[in-house]
Amino acid sequence: MDSIYSSAEDDSRHATDGSVVTERTRAPEDNDLIRTAAKVTRDLHGAKASIYWTDFLLSVVTGYGALIGAVIAPTALFAVIFGIVAILALYRAGSFIHELTHVRRNALPGFHFAWNALFGVPMLIPSFMYEGVHSIHHRTRKYGTIEDPEYLPLALMKPWTVPLFVVVASLAPIALLFRYAVLTPLSFVIPPLRKIVVERYSGLIINPEFRRKNPEGDLRKRWLVSEIAASIWAISLLALVAANIIPLRAFLIFLAIMSGSVVLNQIRTLVAHLWENDGEEMTVTAQYLDSVNVPPPATLPALWAPVGLRYHALHHLLPGLPYHALGEAHRRIIRELPEGSSYSKGNHDSLWGLIIGLVRGSSHKNPA
């Protein structure tokens, strides 16, 4: 079967405005941008444990507190209000999985374990599903190619791909329950199934052609521990619901809030990049231009792109910077480089403008 990248490449040959795509995705290396960004941010690479712990713990407490509030709310209106707060807070807590893949474990002692214990396992998204996967997305020769687990050329695909991308995400809670309650225990006794589970159902990916390799070393140990814990939790949760110890209404509210958080992240993912590459290798500058910053004065990105994700293009330029340093790094680079520089071309105004641009772009290139 032809890969989705092959289809996108065929579509791009017929794009009416393919020159715009080529200008960004084939941009030559801007060495001045790379040197300046590295120079003015040399003192910003230290992860501040107090910020990480405070931010994460407040997000978890708020999220679970609001979840309980949604379950016991006396009216539907209050349930919805608590549900929205829970979605936003748990989404923020979950977004720290991105930081876990970039910050050295010894820089934040105990943080990886706490994140998995308090969020990853209870929400059935343990960090092994991102660790060892996300790093491939940042390899210069992998980004935007068929080997990138986190890239699809959405701007070159059919218009219906964009809404389908979001709809599928809404079913994630059910898929995760099935993965850990059913597939995990079965895969430990059925080797061929285990291979499929590891390759295809053990990563937070969007590229259906990607196949994950077996983990090795310390990651393998952490993987097994957290996977078994998630499996025990998933089975226990379903058993408690079946025995009516956990009311069905409470369980459905939990699933709805999980789904809301995943959908919000999926919408954010839609605008993390411009998704215009057709599978060819790109320069670091081209990768930056294919990625998105939504800096101040916009305020809503603090909710839909938390934990530094509003500076996603800058993150691709300087992936080692902790999330709390990205705002200062952005301000320094803006001051240092002239107006109209390559850096300024990675900055955008709003979520809706980006979504409309993506849908409109795919519609023009690939009419239904």
DSSP 271-336: TTB-----S----HHHHHHTB-B--TT--THHHHSTTTTTBHHHHHHSTTS-GGGHHHHHHHHHHH
Interval 81-102 mean pLDDT: 97
Q: Would you state the pLDDT for residue 214?
A: 92
As a whole number, mean pLDDT of residues 311-333 equals 97
Whether the predicted pLDDT of 11 surpasses 80: no
In one letter, which amino acid is 326? Answer: L
The pLDDT, as a whole number, for residue 360 is 64
The mean per-residue pLDDT over the stretch 274-300 comes to 93
Q: What pLDDT was estimated at residue 21?
A: 53
Whether the predicted pLDDT of 277 surpasses 70: yes
- Higher confidence at residue 297 or residue 84? 84
- HSE (CB half, 13 Å, CA atoms) of 94? 31
Residue 141, classed as helix, strand or coil, is coil
Most confidently modeled of 269-278, 315-324, 351-360?
Answer: 315-324
SS3 call for 311? strand
For a pLDDT cut of 90, what percent of the chain falls above it? 80
Q: What is the mean pLDDT of the chain?
A: 90
Rounded Cα distance, 9 and 15, in Å: 10
> Please, which pLDDT band fits residue 6 given cuts at 50, 70 and 90?
very low
CA distance 133 to 227: 16
Helix, strand, coil fractions of the chain, as percent rounded to 5:
65, 0, 35
State the average pLDDT over residues 34-45. 96
Give the three-state DSSP class for 273.
Answer: strand
Which of 15-19, 53-57, 218-222, 364-368 has the lowest average pLDDT?
15-19
pTM for the model stands at 0.91
- Mean pLDDT of the 105-109 span: 93
CA distance 306 to 91: 8
- Return the pLDDT at 15: 41
What is residue 158's predicted lDDT score, i.e. its pLDDT? Answer: 83
Position 363 scores a pLDDT of: 53
Amino acid at 154: L
Which has more confidence, 90 or 165?
Answer: 90
Question: Over 80: is that where the pLDDT of 362 sits?
Answer: no
Q: Give residue limits of the domains in the chain.
A: 4-46+273-365, 49-270
Contacts of 303 (CB under 8 A, 6+ apart): 88
Single-letter residue type at 30: D
Provide the pLDDT for residue 365.
56
pLDDT of residue 364: 53
Give the mean model confidence (pLDDT) for residues 211-236. 95
The reported pLDDT for the residue numbered 361 is 58
- Give residue 355's pLDDT: 79
311: which strand partners?
293
Is pLDDT of 19 > 60? Answer: no
Predicted confidence (pLDDT) at residue 91 exceeds the cutoff of 50:
yes
- CA torsion through residues 295, 299, 300, 305, sign: positive
| Confidence bin at 156 (pLDDT 50/70/90) | confident
Distance CA 283, CA 291 (A): 13
Which of 15-19, 243-247, 281-285 bottoms out in mean pLDDT, i.e. has the lowest?
15-19
